[in-house]
Amino acid sequence: MYDQAEALRNLIRNNERLRTGRGTRILTVTSGKGGVGKSNFSLNFALALQKLGKTVLVFDADIGMANLDVLMGHNATYSIYHLLKQDKTIWDIIQLGPQGLHFVAGGSGMNELLQLSDAQLNKFIDQLDNLQGKYDYLLFDTGAGLSKEAASLIAAAHETIVVTTPEPTAITDAYALMKMVRSFGHEPTFRLVVNRAMDAREGQQTADKIAMAARKFMGIEVPLLGIIADDPNVSRAVRQQTPFTIAYPASDATKGIQSIARAYLDMPALREATSGGIKGFLHKMVRLMK
């Protein structure tokens, strides 16, 4: 029978031929304050990377309020939960979104990880390990704030994109989040995206504030990936349940995303996506979570 799992395996076999980069990179998108635009960013950034020839699998890792599927107008049949608690494979739970985007829907999956037996946990790790080399990027859209699960995910990832708006509360929360992740004793690689900027100047000033504080008080560099304009088309697209880069391809927000995707691919990778691969990442994450 030619079912969804078989169709996906075929698609992914093609991915393997198309893949351009080295190892599969694991990328998290997070913020200190909620509602700053992480999910919209994750979805549209993944679509923009695909346009530039990269293969991306997006994970909705927001524990409390998973909603990536809602943003795509796609009713997800399966989520991480089905992999953990029922007998589904990774190929069963990958969903096909707009423009052929592959994604895994959220739900209560992530905190279920804490209550798994070792055998279940190993099954989970083995299943995700099947993705090794099949995608250029695994992108995790996390919830806001800092749960232990999210912090473990961020600390284990190759890099983390921190999304903030120019609002002072969002800026201080972004800074606090980076500080907290570092207190886990790890050296995460942060990149910054300023969303909802009135203009380029406001976006740059926001980035400068964060970069300066990070340099002075944490001794780390937080390079700016780019700025996305405050654009009413984003909210319009959300109401239409269509990613804004698809619904409004000529909008300011879309232009921002496109230039961020290009900047991201141009930036040298600070942490190599080699040793341990997906398995190494997951073992590290689980260790930190416990």
Ligand X SMILES: Nc1ncnc2c1ncn2[C@@H]1O[C@H](COP(=O)(O)OP(=O)(O)OP(=O)(O)O)[C@@H](O)[C@H]1O
| 206 lines the binding site for Mg ion (CB under 5 A) | no
- Give the shortest CB-52-to-ligand X separation in angstroms: 20
Stretch that binds ligand X, among 31-39, 105-113, 174-182, 206-214 (CB under 6 A): 31-39
Contact 90, 135 (CB under 8 A): no
| 38 lines the binding site for ligand X (CB under 6 A) | yes
Query: Between residues 145 and 280, which has the closer beta carbon with respect to Mg ion?
Result: 145
171 binds, among ligand X, Mg ion, none (CB under 5 to 8 A by kind): none
| Residue 255 C-beta-side C-alpha neighbours within 13 Å | 7
Query: Between residues 202 and 230, which has the closer beta carbon with respect to ligand X?
Result: 230
What is the spatial distance between Cα 115 and Cα 112, in angstroms, rounded to a whole number? Answer: 5
The order of strands in the sheet holding 137-142 is 95-96, 102-104, 56-61, 137-142, 25-30, 159-164, 190-197, 224-229
Query: Between residues 183 and 235, which has the closer beta carbon with respect to ligand X?
Result: 235
**Each residue of 148-180: b (16+ CB within 10 Å) or e?**
ebbbbbbbbbbbbbbbbbbeeebbbbbbebbbe
Q: Which two tokens stand for residue 265?
A: 């691919």
| 62 lines the binding site for ligand X (CB under 6 A) | yes
C-alpha 194: how far from its chain's center? Answer: 16
| 169 lines the binding site for ligand X (CB under 6 A) | no
Query: Between residues 75 and 117, which has the closer beta carbon with respect to Mg ion?
Result: 75
Query: Between residues 157 and 273, which has the closer beta carbon with respect to Mg ion?
Result: 157
Q: DSSP secondary-structure letter at 273?
A: S
What's the Rg (C-alpha) of the chain?
18
What is the spatial distance between Cα 90 and Cα 148, in angstroms, rounded to a whole number? Answer: 24
| 50 lines the binding site for Mg ion (CB under 5 A) | no
- Give the shortest CB-158-to-ligand X separation in angstroms: 21
| 39 lines the binding site for ligand X (CB under 6 A) | yes
Q: Give me the DSSP letters along 183-202.
A: TTT----EEEEEEEESSHHH
| 149 lines the binding site for ligand X (CB under 6 A) | no
Contact 15, 130 (CB under 8 A): no
- Give the shortest CB-62-to-Mg ion separation in angstroms: 5
| 29 lines the binding site for ligand X (CB under 6 A) | no
Stretch that binds Mg ion, among 31-39, 145-153, 167-175, 221-229 (CB under 5 A): 31-39
Question: Contacting Mg ion (CB under 5 A), which of 24, 39, 152, 254?
Answer: 39
Binding characters for ligand X, 212-241, by CB under 6 A (x = yes) = ----------------x-xx--xx--x---
| 70 lines the binding site for ligand X (CB under 6 A) | no
Query: Between residues 15 and 39, which has the closer beta carbon with respect to Mg ion?
Result: 39
Residue ranges of E strands in the chain: 25-30, 56-61, 95-96, 102-104, 137-142, 159-164, 190-197, 224-229
What is the spatial distance between Cα 107 and Cα 185, in angstroms, rounded to a whole number? Answer: 29
- Give the shortest CB-89-to-ligand X separation in angstroms: 28
**Contact residues for ligand X, defined by CB under 6 A:** 31, 34-40, 62, 65, 143-144, 195-196, 228, 230-231, 234-235, 238, 253
